[in-house]
Every structure is written in C-alpha cells, then in structure tokens.
Amino acid sequence: MSKHIGILTSGGDCPGLNAALRGVGKAGFDHFDMQIIGFRDGFRGLAQDRTQRIDSTLLSGILTDGGTILGTSRDKPHKMMIGNKTQDMTEAIVDTYQRHHLDAVVCLGGGGTQKNAIRLKDAGLNVVTLPKTIDNDVVGTDVTFGFDTALEIATEAVDRLHSTATSHHRIIVVEVMGHRAGWLGLGAGIAGGADVILIPEIPYTIDNVAEAIKDRARKGKRFSIVTVAEGAMTTDQAKTVAELVEKKDNAQTKAEKKEASAELDLFHEQHVDHTLHLTQRLEELTGIESRLTILGHLQRGGTPSAADRLLATRLGTACAQLLDQGVFGVMVAARGDSSMPVPLEDVAGQTKLVPSDHPWVQSARLVGTCLGD
C-alpha cells in the first residue's frame, strides 16, 4: 500500500535544503511507492494546511539551487502568531495530518526544528527529521548540511580581506554567524589563516587580543585578521550570561522566571553590535586602523557545495528508507560515510558546542592563532 508522506522545511534557510527534498522525494517515488505533499513555510503551512504537491517535475533541476522551494519560517507549533495573538496550533496540525491521511511528516531543520518535531511526536504524529544548519550545532550528527557551503563562503571572504588588510596595514575584523556555537568562525578562521579567532565557547579579554596584534606588529607584521563569531563574548560578558541563566533556572515563581528571561533577552539585544565596539577598541589599544566586515546572511545563500549536495542527498535517501521501514521519532544523522537514526529525545533541546580540547582548537593554537583567552 502506498505511503502518504508530508514534508516541510523550517527555521533559517541554508544550502542543501532542496537537495535533501529531492533525495527524499525521488527515492520515495521511484523505490518505495510514496505519495508526498509539501507544506509551505514550515510549521505554519502544516497548521494552516497550505500544501504543494511534490512530484518529479517539481524536483527536477533543484539539486543545485540554494534556499528551499517550499519556503520556510521560524514558527513554532505551540507558539504561533495568528492575527495579533499567539496561539497553540498543535491541534490544527494534528487535524491537517489526519485530513491528508499522512503516515509520517518529515521536518528539515536545525535545533529549533528538532524541539518542535518532538512536540508533534508527543501529540501522536509519526515524525522524522533531517539536520540542517550552517552553524553545525545539532547534536547526534557528525555534520549538518549547509555547514560546508557556509564555511567555504566565510573562508573565501577571509581570503579576500587579506589583500586589503596587507595593502593598508589594517586590522580587519570579520564577523561570521554562530550565536552559540563557534564551528563556522573557528573553521573559517583556521582555513583562512586568521591571526585571531573569537568564538562563544572560549571567552576572551580585549587586552589579550590587542597584545597579540601588537606582538605581530613588533615582529614586522603590519596587519591582522580577526575572525569573530557573532556570539563571541568577553570573560565579563560570559560571567553575566552565566549568572542570568542560573537566575532563570533557579526562579521559584513564574514572575521571577519572566524577569530573568527578559534580562537575558535584553543582554542579547545589546550584544548584537559587539563586533563594532570590539573593532573600535582594538584601534584604540593598538593604534592600528581597524575595519569591520559583517558577512551576515551572505553565508546562507547561493549554490550548495558538492559536499553539501552529497550529504543532503545521502540523508534524504536514507530518510526515505527509514520511512519505508516504519522507523519514526528519529533524526537521520550523518555517521562517517553512512547514516543512523537517532531518537529525537537524544537530540532535542541540546546544542553541539566546540569542546575546548577539540582538534581544531589545538591546531589553531599550534599555528600561533590567538583565541583571546
């Protein structure tokens, strides 16, 4: 009997989403007798029953396309803005699932999507997820699709900025994405030969960074490249965040928890332009002209790399196999050259951070890169 499968892309867009959709779809059609419908704009489309029929014609030619043909959003099933009110749309999602007689729904997304997927699993839906994000911070998988392409883009940016840094004898600060995890900043910094790399997992002091740059100047090196993840923090800022998190975790009442959450949100709002302040401060402390480049969403766009196309296709086809076998409630994780179903309970609510003793960190230190600590 033919299986009816729903599929959606959720969270931020990234390279490889279309390749993964294609992998699930083509394997599902050609080998496992599946009928597949897409839901537009993530969980919102599932809640509002906004569908897109998936067929071979739609999937033709999308392997190399960036973005997602289904559209995406950051809407959460249990906290969705409908009109001017936030509503729990879980029941509406269950209704949509049943109306289309779905056997399962496939959710392509990052950490937030894994949490949302497990909520749908708890509501009685058969769910399978695929791990995508340029941040590479999803637990349980060797790597997420989207990361390799973003790493190439960020590394090329660092490469290109070297020429203006050397020509004008400047400090060039390059901000890359990575709010909580520093995989992208660390990888691009090492591959691009950055002199300083600052990531969220290793709090820094501005004096240490300035001293490393002045030491380079004393040795006749009149420029420096500083790669900074957007979530990088000074030691004082990291201490403040830790205290606020502890305050939130130890809150005894709903009001206390709300207050702590508001303080934490305010900190992150004010932290948005920290690389600008870092750049200005480095110029003051070193006496070297400093300039800031923020890569932003440039890292998420464009044609996926060969590695991301291969990974997304591999995980997409593995997903179709699991659906055919009736394996649900899992994320399809990359493990070496193969894949593995990982229970959503082992993934949701966790973040894969850069360990302080990770080989990339060790390599950076051994080639003389300053990590600010």
Positions marked active-site? 135
Q: For residues 300 and 133, what is the distance between their CA atoms, to the nearest angstrom?
A: 9
Question: What distance in Å separates the CA atoms of residue 53 and residue 13, rounded to the nearest whole number?
Answer: 20
Measured CA to CA, the distance from residue 69 to residue 54 in angstroms comes to: 10
CA distances for 231 relative to 91, 160, 221, angstroms: 36, 23, 28
Q: Is residue 362 classed exposed, middle or buried when 0-12, 13-18 and 19+ CB atoms within 10 A define those classes?
A: exposed
Do 63 and 16 meet the contact criterion of CB atoms below 8 Å apart? no
- Structure tokens, 287: 């006496």
The residues, any chain, with a CB within 8 Å of residue 229's CB and separated by 6 or more, are 175, 176, 177, 178, 179, 181, 182, 184, 185, 186, 198, 199, 200
Residue 36 and residue 25: Cα distance in Å, rounded? 7
**Sign of torsion, CA 147 149 151 153?**
negative
Nearest to 66 by CA among 131, 129, 135, 20: 20
Q: Are 184 and 15 in contact (CB under 8 A)?
A: no
Torsion of CA 46, 49, 52, 54, to 10 degrees: 60
CA distances (Å), 214 to each of 207, 244, 282, 370, in order? 10, 34, 10, 12
